[in-house]
Amino acid sequence: MKILNFGSLNIDYVYSVEHFVQKGETLSSDMLNVYSGGKGLNQSIALSRAGLPVYHAGMIGEDGTFLENMLKDAGVNTQFLYKSSEVRTGNAIIQNDKNGDNCILLYGGANQAITKDMIDQVLANFEAGDWLVLQNEICEIPYIVEQAHHKGMKIMLNPSPMNDRIYELCLDYIDVFILNEVEAQGLVGTTDDVQKLQSKLKEKFPNAEIVLTLGEKGSMYLGEESVQQEIYSVETVDTTAAGDTFTGYYLAGRLQEMSVKETLNMAAAASAIAVSKRGAAPSIPTKDEVIQFIENH
């Protein structure tokens, strides 16, 4: 079994601010840091640091070589990473406020230059039973899902950022969903009632494994039996890669044959560590760090 993450790679420009800039406002930043990021890159690093071998497919520009090095340093296989001389690497402008919250402006760049021919070349190296991990920061997602399903691959989707492109997918092909409340509401219709949301998700995707992340309320596995996981309380410094860390550790735990309860606990601990550090990819912990954190709490 092989794991392929077909996902985004970004250069993150992180501005530390007192509050998020408002319409018509000019705001000075206390600090600027440049990090590696992109939901795809983050999740590949989380998977690798959680102990799973993972291939990353995607595209960067010539300005993104350090992102490739970051993946390699984390143990990710980059043989399916393409480099373009015609388009810049995707980037994100991130405001990080004094409470540790963030808002993000994305420029797709090379993430939006992926072609069907490239997809065919990558997927030719995978087969039935292999896993595909997807987010929503690259183009041609519907084609990737269709081709992977026809090959018999298992598909995990984190539909972030949630937008109209998600509705172009055949969602019945998805085996595992990792969703926050906004994404879940977008898939099944708006409801502020978490119990109704859970019920609608299970009704619409009866054959899929669903994990719902609920912010300060923790997370929940929706299966034959629901499993609730509380968050670990830590001082929040930067929330940028918390969701990606959770996603990578969740899939890693399930493929390492941990129970749902053990897996959710590992994922919650890993994301708690991530929010206590600055940066996206640099904040993602190793499995040993997570185990030690759990023992200490």
What distance in Å separates the CA atoms of residue 201 and residue 179, rounded to the nearest whole number?
A: 10
265-288 per-position pLDDT tens digit: 999 999 999 999 887 788 999 999
What distance in Å separates the CA atoms of residue 244 and residue 254, rounded to the nearest whole number?
A: 16
What distance in Å separates the CA atoms of residue 14 and residue 105, rounded to the nearest whole number?
A: 11
Residue 281: its pLDDT value, please? 85
pLDDT band at 183 (very low <50, low <70, confident <90, very high): very high
Cβ-count burial 51-64 (b if 16+ within 10 Å, e if not): ebebbbbbbbbeeb
pTM of the shown model = 0.92
63-89 per-position pLDDT tens digit: 999 999 999 999 999 999 999 999 999
Query: What is the arithmetic mean of pLDDT over 141-169?
Result: 96
- Positions marked active-site: 244
pLDDT band at 194 (very low <50, low <70, confident <90, very high): confident
C-alpha pair distances (Å), 267 with each of 101, 250, 294: 20, 5, 11
Residue 76: its pLDDT value, please? 98
- CA-wise closest residue to 183 among 163, 165, 199: 163
